[in-house]
Amino acid sequence: MRTQKTLLAGLLALAAAALAEDPATFTASLDRTSAELGDHVTATYEAVLPEGSRIEVEALVSPLLGEPGGGPVLDFPAQPRIRTEKTKSGLRSKVEVSFVPFQTGAIPVPAPKLVVVLPSGERRAVRPAQLLLQVASRLPKEKKPDELEAKADRPPAVPPISAWVWAALAAGLLAIAGLVWWILRRRVTAPQAGPAEPERTASEEFLAALEKLARSVPAPGSDARGYYSDLTHAIKRYLERRLEKPVLEWTTFETLRRLRELGLEFPQEIGLADLLGSADRVKFARAAATRAESESHLTRARALHDVLERRLAPPPETGAAAEPQQAKR
């Protein structure tokens, strides 16, 4: 009899120890198993906790892109939602995490780092199981990206001009005429303005923009979207002025494709596709960028300028062209 009581007490002690080590078992699920790029997906992590417990989200985790220095694959546009309700078996808690995928294929969805706070105040780290999401591209499946045609240029739509516009225009012209008459009547002579500054070349303007960006490299942890917006605008404006093409109206994909059609292939160390792609991820997917990456992209932009200037420079005079000039002397 005493042996049975001892055995029963030991089993109860083991059960209590197991319950203390594992206060809750989480189940993980997705509201969909397949999605397209840019879709909003919600992951739900659910468990039954002892009365008086609560859940805290310590950190959200995302896999990184496969390329060197790649940013996160998942973007979290909102804070996680934690819901609790009392049941007969305990306190049922749900953690809902919304995210947006930015890479195609079978994407692993790591669970967030959770902390269960027990009624005694003890904190237990919990990590639910990882999920898998199949992400498809929004591009046509039967064509490769290089085979897609650029968007056709549409003529601007001119809305009809109402009578109020003509009336406002006439009133404006009358006001301007009255102002000119008043200035002539007072015989006010305007001071002589100095000579206008010559317009800067595309090269001078681009180098000045890069010099300005070098003084505003984002600090670690700060928002780098403004920096990369100015950097891509400076690069596209330089290419537009130098090549006399509407580069500012092109998307990143169109820019790379049309530069190839023009025969402009840049060295691998410049990596124009990676440079513009990294800038798009920071601007639109809010990916993180270190200070070293920002300075590296600025250095590659300067290298792009040097390579393009050398290619577009006029050829030097050959010896055959210089001989007639020497004969004249």
Average pLDDT, the chain: 80
* pLDDT(147) > 70: no
* pLDDT(119) > 80: yes
CB 234 within 8 A of CB 213: yes
If you average pLDDT over residues 85-100, what whole number do you get? 86
Task: Decide: helix, strand or coil at residue 130.
Answer: coil
Residue in this structure with the two tokens 């100015």, named with its chain if needed: 230
Crossing angle between the packed helical segments 252-261 and 272-284, to the nearest 10 degrees: 170
If you average pLDDT over residues 285-305, what whole number do you get? 85
Residue in this structure with the two tokens 């003084």, named with its chain if needed: 215
* pLDDT(210) > 80: yes
Give the per-residue pLDDT at 242: 87
CB 203 within 8 A of CB 305: yes
* Residues ≥6 apart with Cβ < 8 Å to 233: 248
Q: What is the DSSP letter of 199?
A: P
**How much of the chain, in percent, has pLDDT values that exceed 90?**
7
Phi and psi based region of residue 113 (left: phi greater than 0; alpha: psi -120 to 50; beta: remaining): beta
Note the pLDDT tens digit of each residue in 15-31.
Answer: 444 444 455 678 889 99
Give the per-residue pLDDT at 176: 93
Region of poorest pLDDT, from 13-17, 163-167, 249-253, 297-301: 13-17
Which position has the higher pLDDT, 112 or 325?
112
**Alpha-carbon span 264 to 150, nearest angstrom:** 18
Q: Give the tokens for residue 225.
A: 């979207």
* pLDDT(86) > 80: yes
If you average pLDDT over residues 271-278, what whole number do you get? 85
Calculate the alpha carbon distances from 172 to 117, 158, 161, 163, 178 in Å: 70, 22, 16, 14, 10
Q: Give the tokens for residue 152.
A: 């056709």
Question: For the range 317-326, what are the long-range contacts, defined as Cβ-Cβ under 8 Å and sequence gap of 24 or more?
Answer: none
Region of poorest pLDDT, from 11-20, 35-44, 75-84, 264-273: 11-20
Which position has the higher pLDDT, 229 or 314?
229
**Alpha-carbon span 276 to 293, nearest angstrom:** 13
**CA 159 distance to own-chain centroid:** 35
Q: List, in sequence order, the alpha helices (H) in the chain.
A: 2-21, 163-186, 202-214, 225-243, 252-261, 272-284, 291-312, 319-328
Strongest mean pLDDT among 119-123, 172-176, 308-312: 172-176
**How much of the chain, in percent, has pLDDT values that exceed 70?**
80
User: Cβ–Cβ contacts within 10 Å for residue 55, how many?
Assistant: 22
Q: Which of 64, 204, 58 is nearest to 126 (CA)?
A: 58
If you average pLDDT over residues 262-286, what whole number do you get? 84
Give the per-residue pLDDT at 49: 84
CB 114 within 8 A of CB 58: yes
Cα R_g (the chain), whole angstroms: 33
**Alpha-carbon span 74 to 102, nearest angstrom:** 6
Phi and psi based region of residue 127 (left: phi greater than 0; alpha: psi -120 to 50; beta: remaining): beta
Which position has the higher pLDDT, 191 or 206?
206
First to last CA, the chain: 129
If you average pLDDT over residues 66-77, what whole number do you get? 75
Give the per-residue pLDDT at 173: 92
Q: Which domains occur in the chain, in start order? A: 20-136 (2.60.40.10), 202-312 (no CATH)
* pLDDT(197) > 80: no
Give the per-residue pLDDT at 67: 59
